Structures are given as structure tokens and as C-alpha cells.
């Protein structure tokens, strides 16, 4: 006769099992995973998703409730000692969104876990719940990092490898990095929430959102975080372009079409340099950038690939150089008022760039793609805004002299200036020469490096097959996959990048002759061209 196990003994055994079973991890993994497989195959999970918290799961197990919504047979990849720096394919399950949320840390994801505070844990829980309400599956950052550390995924000095190890373990299609800042003001306390969402496959930024909670006298940070996230929810939905297919959400990450006018040029990234971006080894939270792409001119010829140039440069600044999206002033089809707002006017440099720079700490990047021209009367070089009549550059253009003079008064740590001024092989107006970058005004910019598309009176040309200006294409190609790191020391200097771009047999000069039968040699100026631009 079979003896009945007493109730207290069943409770004891169940509690013992719970304490010895591995913690659930993975955005689309089962709640309890035994005997992790060494090889996996892709399977489509059940549409029923368990949205319970880990505390609720453990409580239900103790009470003997069934796991009706548990996703079964989900793939869990092996974590190996060697992981490629560029992730290959993190599966985004058909019809489902998977997200890993973790806190910002200047060093790496392993330090983010080790240094995580209770407030950060609360923020992760609340933001994760917010994503679940939007239809995402979310994984436990704590469980993922415990698994990563137990398998040696943090035993490396490469932050990119650490991140890839965590994402490989989590099996997420997307990840979100969050920052919180609680401020005390006279009107009460409020919390600022900053959130950046990336694609796990290539670490490209999908969106960045910032929101503040209302001001009131409370120390309940959980409620403040909920309030801040609720304020950014509409923006997240729009920027992620979440659509519904068969009652399940799907993220549409195709480039946005921001121009609705007939015949207008829009962003269309098709080049090999627009994907597989290197990931920043460290973040650069104080860096500031101005990125301008002028394509749709109102009174002269368009610059077909200027928006592609600007959009891709922005992605590189965020993904490869560690810039915050909020610190990048990105302008498509800039008018003269935009130039003045950003860089100031003659005699007054206090534009948006000046006011956002932290003295002695901020590195400044400026990128411009569009028309440039020389004034008919004053022979001064001008950036050409989209609303400028090229016959009246002295009135409607933005002088490069003012640009350099104002930059010289910005108290930045350093300046990097990239100019792809394009004329499509023809003149804007009769007797007007291309932009002349002689560096006369640039000499006053301290700690600056200037790279321009051409020297003297040469034209800047395009690379239609790649959908970029030739200068921008080679600039990005040199940065991507460390192709311009000529000595292989994993440190790309400005001079190395220039030598790669200016190579007479493989670089811009050769391809400019081949494609357009013109001479184009890029320009490099600055006192410290041996300075490291990027470390890999």
C-alpha cells in the first residue's frame, strides 16, 4: 500500500526544488530550464505569453498553480568562451517582440550588473512591465547576467563581447538601456527617465526617449518612473512604428520617410557601410554633435544623397562613438535660421551648440552634407541653406568664416569637423566655384581636426551605387570593421583614416576618376592628426 506524503513534507520538497532550480532567463525562454542544450534549433513559440513577474511565478509554484501560459520548447543558445564582437543573428520570433532592459553604465554591461542599485532594479522592473503592456516579452536582467558570469562571459576586457554574451544568453531581438535621475526642486521631487532602444543584431539605435515625471512631494520613485514611462509611451509606439499583425505586435524598423511632399528626397540607406557598425567600447555622455544633411533645395539643384550621409553619420555617432541621441542636433534640409540657431551669428557664438557644451569635457563633432559655394562679390566660402538663392549667397548663405570664428569660442574639449560639400560635377550658378576650404578660419579652432571632401576648387562627387557622397562613403568604410586601422593596433587615428580615404589606387581619387572623370582629393587639417579617433 502506497504511503501518502504528509502536506508539510510536500511543501518542504517543493521549496527545496525551487531553491535549487536555475533561475528563469531569456526573453522567450521557458520559465524553468533544465539541461541546457549544446545546440539549438529555431522554433516558433506558443502565442500565449506568461506576463507574470518572477515573484508571482514563485508564489504560484508554491501554491501549486499550473503554468498554463508557459512558453515551451524555446531555443536557448549555448554560451561559449569565444563570442564574435559583431553578433550574428539574435532571433526575433515571428509575431513577437523580445526585449532586455538594463541600466546605463559608462564601463560595460557587467559593471552595470555589479554596480546595480535597488533603485535601478525597481526601474528595470517597472520599465519591463511597461514594455510587456506594449506586447513585448521581457527577460530578467539579473538572471541573464548571473548565467553570463557563471559561464565566463564577463571574463574579458572587451565591453562589446560582454554585451554580446548577455544578448546571446537573453535571446532578445532588442535591448533597452535606461537612466534615471531623481531631482529635488522647490515644487517637489521629479524623476527624469532616459531610454534608448537598440536592435540586438547590429546595435543600431531605433529610438531614444526622455521624459520627466510630474513634480510633487514624494519619495516613491516607483510611481515617478511609471509616470515618466507613461509619458514616453506614445513616442515609443510612433518611433518603433509598432503595427499589429494577427493580433500580435511587430516592430517595423525600416527607415522612416519624413518627407511627404511629391518628388522630395528621403532617407534610403542601401550601402554596405550602413550596417554592421562597430560598437563603442565606452559611452561618451558629454559629447555633442551637429549633423546636417541638405538635399531638397528650393532654388537650385538637389543633393541626392545628403540625407543618407547625415542619417548614417548619426547612427555611427550613437553606435560606434557612444553619443547620446539627445546630444545630437540632427537637421534635415537646414535653412539659414537653422545654421544661426545652431552656431550663432557674427559676433555672437551662443547658439544651441555653445549652450550645450560642458566646458573642457565635451567633444564636439560637426558633419555637413550639401551644397557649398563662394560669394560672387566677397569671394567668401558659404554653406548653402536650402532656402538660399545661390545668386545672393552674401545675404542668404552662412559664411564658413563665421562658422569657424564661433567654433573657436566654444569651450569644448576638442572638435572634429567633417564636410561633404557636393556640387554633382556642375556649378550652381554661372561663374560660381565650389566651396573652398582653405582652413583660414579653421586655424583658430583649438584642438580641432578638419576633414573635407576635396581640396582647393575641386568638386565633391557621389557614389550612386552605394547611395552616399563619395567622401562620406569612404569615411564610414574606413571606420567600419576597422578597415582604416593600417597598423592593426585597434586604434584608428585621423591620419590613418585620411590615408585610407586618400589612397590613389583604392580610395577617393581613384574612384572619382573612374566614376566621374574628375579629380577629387580629400583634405585633412589640424594640429593633432595622430590623435585616436576610435578604439576597437
Tell whether 161 is covered by a domain. yes
Would you say 174 and 200 are in contact if contact means Cβ atoms under 8 Å apart?
yes
State the pLDDT confidence band at 436, using cuts at 50, 70 and 90: very low
pLDDT surpasses 50 at 62: no
User: Cα(135)–Cα(85) distance, rounded to whole angstroms?
Assistant: 30
How high is the pLDDT of residue 242? 56
Would you say 196 and 94 are in contact if contact means Cβ atoms under 8 Å apart?
no
pLDDT surpasses 90 at 475: yes
How high is the pLDDT of residue 339? 96
Q: Which of 333, 332, 307, 305 is nearest to 468 (CA)?
A: 305
State the pLDDT confidence band at 171, using cuts at 50, 70 and 90: confident
Q: Using CB atoms within 10 Å of the CB of residue 390, give its burial: 0 to 12 exposed, 13 to 18 middle, 19+ buried.
A: buried
Per the structure, the count of domains in the chain is 2
How high is the pLDDT of residue 312? 95
pLDDT surpasses 80 at 68: no
Tell whether 313 is covered by a domain. yes
User: Cα(99)–Cα(167) distance, rounded to whole angstroms?
Assistant: 10
The string of DSSP codes covering 413-476 is SEEEEEEEE--TTS-SSTTPPPP----TTGGGSTTEEEEES-STTPPP-EETTTTEEHHHHHHH
User: Cα(98)–Cα(87) distance, rounded to whole angstroms?
Assistant: 16
Its domain, for residue 341, covers 285-535
User: Cα(5)–Cα(87) distance, rounded to whole angstroms?
Assistant: 50
State the pLDDT confidence band at 450, using cuts at 50, 70 and 90: very high
Tell whether 268 is covered by a domain. no
User: Cα(68)–Cα(536) distance, rounded to whole angstroms?
Assistant: 46
Contact partners, residue 5, CB within 8 Å, separation at least 6: 13
Per this entry, what is the length of the chain? Answer: 536
Rg (CA), the chain: 27
pLDDT digits (tens, 9 = 90+) for 101-137: 999 887 889 999 999 998 899 999 999 999 888 888 8
User: Cα(63)–Cα(55) distance, rounded to whole angstroms?
Assistant: 12
* 364 bridge partner residues: 288, 415
CA torsion angle for 11, 12, 15, 16 (degrees, to 10)?
-150
Q: Are residues 36 and 183 in the same domain?
A: yes
**Buried-exposed string 311-344: b where 16+ CB fall within 10 A, e elsewhere:** bbbbbbbbbbbbbbbebbbbbbbbbbebbbbbbb
φ and ψ of 450, to 5 deg = -115, 130
Would you say 287 and 365 are in contact if contact means Cβ atoms under 8 Å apart?
yes
Three-state SS at 103: strand
User: Cα(293)–Cα(302) distance, rounded to whole angstroms?
Assistant: 11
State the pLDDT confidence band at 421, using cuts at 50, 70 and 90: confident
The x, y and z cell numbers of residue 362, run together, are 565635451
User: Cα(295)–Cα(345) distance, rounded to whole angstroms?
Assistant: 23
User: Cα(404)–Cα(375) distance, rounded to whole angstroms?
Assistant: 17
Q: Are residues 18 and 133 in the same domain?
A: yes
Q: Are residues 217 and 307 in the same domain?
A: no
Contact partners, residue 513, CB within 8 Å, separation at least 6: 519
What single DSSP character describes residue 390? G
* 136 bridge partner residues: 97
Contact partners, residue 64, CB within 8 Å, separation at least 6: none
H helices, E strands: number in the chain: 15, 20
pLDDT surpasses 70 at 147: yes
Of 229, 248, 267, the domain-final residue: 248
> What is the reported pTM?
0.56
Least confident of 206-210, 325-329, 455-459: 455-459
User: Cα(212)–Cα(251) distance, rounded to whole angstroms?
Assistant: 25
Q: Are residues 185 and 240 in the same domain?
A: yes
pLDDT surpasses 60 at 81: no
Of 248, 273, 295, the domain-final residue: 248
Would you say 293 and 309 are in contact if contact means Cβ atoms under 8 Å apart?
yes
Q: Are residues 238 and 333 in the same domain?
A: no
Tell whether 262 is covered by a domain. no
How high is the pLDDT of residue 372? 86
Mean pLDDT across the chain, nearest whole number? 76
Q: Are residues 465 and 526 in the same domain?
A: yes
Would you say 408 and 444 are in contact if contact means Cβ atoms under 8 Å apart?
yes
How high is the pLDDT of residue 116? 92
User: Cα(441)–Cα(408) distance, rounded to whole angstroms?
Assistant: 9
Most confident segment among 233-247, 352-366, 516-530? 352-366
Tell whether 184 is covered by a domain. yes
How high is the pLDDT of residue 515? 83
Give the CATH number of the domain where residue 313 resides. Answer: 3.40.50.1460
Tell whether 272 is covered by a domain. no
Of 225, 248, 271, the domain-final residue: 248
Tell whether 264 is covered by a domain. no
Q: Are residues 146 and 228 in the same domain?
A: yes
Amino acid at each position: 500500500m502506497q504511503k501518502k506524503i504528509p502536506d508539510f513534507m510536500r511543501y518542504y520538497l517543493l521549496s527545496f526544488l525551487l531553491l535549487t532550480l536555475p533561475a528563469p532567463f531569456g526573453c522567450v525562454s521557458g520559465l524553468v530550464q533544465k539541461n541546457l542544450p549544446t545546440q539549438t534549433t529555431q522554433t516558433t513559440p506558443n502565442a500565449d505569453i506568461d506576463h507574470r513577474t518572477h515573484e508571482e511565478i514563485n508564489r504560484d509554484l508554491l501554491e501549486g498553480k499550473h503554468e498554463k501560459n508557459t512558453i515551451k520548447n524555446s531555443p536557448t543558445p549555448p554560451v561559449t568562451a569565444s563570442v564574435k564582437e559583431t553578433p550574428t543573428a539574435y532571433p526575433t520570433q515571428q509575431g513577437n517582440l523580445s526585449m532586455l532592459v538594463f541600466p546605463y553604465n559608462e564601463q560595460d554591461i557587467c559593471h552595470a550588473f555589479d554596480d546595480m542599485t535597488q533603485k535601478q532594479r525597481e526601474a528595470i522592473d517597472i520599465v519591463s512591465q511597461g514594455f510587456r503592456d506594449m506586447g513585448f516579452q521581457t527577460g530578467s536582467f539579473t538572471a541573464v547576467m548571473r548565467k553570463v558570469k557563471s559561464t565566463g562571459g564577463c571574463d574579458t576586457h572587451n565591453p562589446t563581447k560582454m554585451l554580446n554574451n548577455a544578448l546571446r544568453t537573453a535571446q532578445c531581438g532588442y535591448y533597452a538601456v535606461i537612466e534615471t535621475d531623481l531631482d529635488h526642486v522647490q515644487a517637489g521631487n521629479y524623476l527624469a527617465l532616459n531610454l534608448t532602444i537598440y536592435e540586438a543584431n547590429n546595435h543600431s539605435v531605433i529610438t531614444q526617449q526622455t521624459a520627466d515625471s510630474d513634480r510633487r512631494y514624494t519619495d516613491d520613485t516607483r510611481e515617478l518612473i511609471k509616470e515618466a514611462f507613461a509619458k514616453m509611451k506614445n513616442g515609443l509606439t510612433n518611433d518603433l512604428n509598432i503595427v499589429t499583425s494577427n493580433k500580435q505586435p511587430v516592430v517595423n524598423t525600416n527607415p522612416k520617410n519624413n518627407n511627404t511632399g511629391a518628388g522630395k528626397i528621403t532617407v534610403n540607406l542601401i550601402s554596405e557601410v550602413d550596417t554592421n557598425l562597430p560598437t563603442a567600447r565606452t559611452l561618451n555622455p558629454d559629447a555633442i554633435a551637429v549633423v546636417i544633411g541638405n538635399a531638397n533645395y528650393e532654388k537650385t539643384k538637389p543633393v541626392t544623397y545628403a540625407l543618407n550621409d547625415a542619417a548614417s553619420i548619426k547612427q555611427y555617432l550613437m553606435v560606434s562613438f557612444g553619443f547620446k541621441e539627445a546630444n545630437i542636433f540632427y537637421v534635415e534640409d537646414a535653412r539659414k535660421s537653422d545654421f544661426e540657431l545652431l552656431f550663432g551669428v557674427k559676433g555672437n557664438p551662443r547658439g544651441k551648440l555653445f549652450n550645450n557644451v560642458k566646458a573642457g569635457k565635451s567633444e564636439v563633432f560637426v558633419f555637413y552634407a550639401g551644397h557649398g559655394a563662394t560669394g560672387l562679390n566677397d569671394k567668401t566660402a558659404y554653406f548653402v541653406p536650402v532656402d538660399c538663392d545661390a545668386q545672393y549667397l552674401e545675404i542668404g548663405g552662412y559664411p564658413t568664416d563665421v562658422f569657424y570664428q564661433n567654433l573657436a569660442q566654444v569651450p569644448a574639449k576638442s572638435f572634429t569637423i567633417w564636410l561633404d560639400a557636393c556640387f554633382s560635377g556642375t556649378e550652381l550658378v554661372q561663374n560660381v566655384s565650389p566651396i573652398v576650404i582653405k582652413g583660414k578660419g579653421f586655424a583658430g579652432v583649438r584642438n580641432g581636426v578638419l576633414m573635407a571632401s576635396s581640396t582647393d576648387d575641386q568638386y565633391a562627387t557621389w557614389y550612386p551605387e552605394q547611395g552616399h557622397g563619395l567622401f562620406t562613403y569612404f569615411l564610414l568604410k574606413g571606420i567600419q570593421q576597422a578597415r582604416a586601422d593600417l597598423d592593426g593596433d585597434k586604434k584608428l587615428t585621423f591620419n590613418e583614416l585620411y590615408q585610407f580615404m586618400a589612397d590613389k589606387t583604392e580610395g577617393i581619387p581613384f574612384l572619382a576618376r573612374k566614376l566621374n572623370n574628375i579629380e577629387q582629393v580629400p583634405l585633412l587639417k589640424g594640429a593633432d592628426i595622430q590623435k585616436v579617433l576610435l578604439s576597437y
